[in-house]
Amino acid sequence: MAEAKKQNLFKRAWGGICRYFRELRSELKKVVWPTPQQVLKNTLIVLACVVVVGVFIWLFDIVGDLLIKALISLKK
């Protein structure tokens, strides 16, 4: 029985790398890129959400600080 000769490890790896980039290129052709207006709108939404979450964290920090100081003052 004749065995099928396996390709060299480097040839197989190179073939896999080439196939990966061919598939990557074909997938990137399918991408629908956003318009500059969409990018601006989404960026502003993200910044607004970051500010809102930051304010909530700041408020919880202040309330927590006041509670801890009140508990410490009760002990004294």
Asked if 19 and 27 count as a contact pair (C-beta separation under 8 A), the reply is: no
The angle at the Cα of 31, spanning 38 to 14, to the nearest 5 degrees, equals 140
Cα atoms found within 13 Å of the Cα of residue 1, Cβ hemisphere only = 2
pTM of the model: 0.59
Q: Is residue 53 part of a domain?
A: yes
pLDDT at site 5: 67
pLDDT at site 8: 81
Per-residue model confidence as pLDDT tens digits over 9-52: 778 888 889 999 999 999 999 999 999 999 999 999 999 999 99
Number of structural domains, the chain?
Answer: 1
Q: Is residue 27 part of a domain?
A: yes
Q: Is residue 4 part of a domain?
A: no
Q: Look up the domain containing 41 and give its range.
A: 9-75
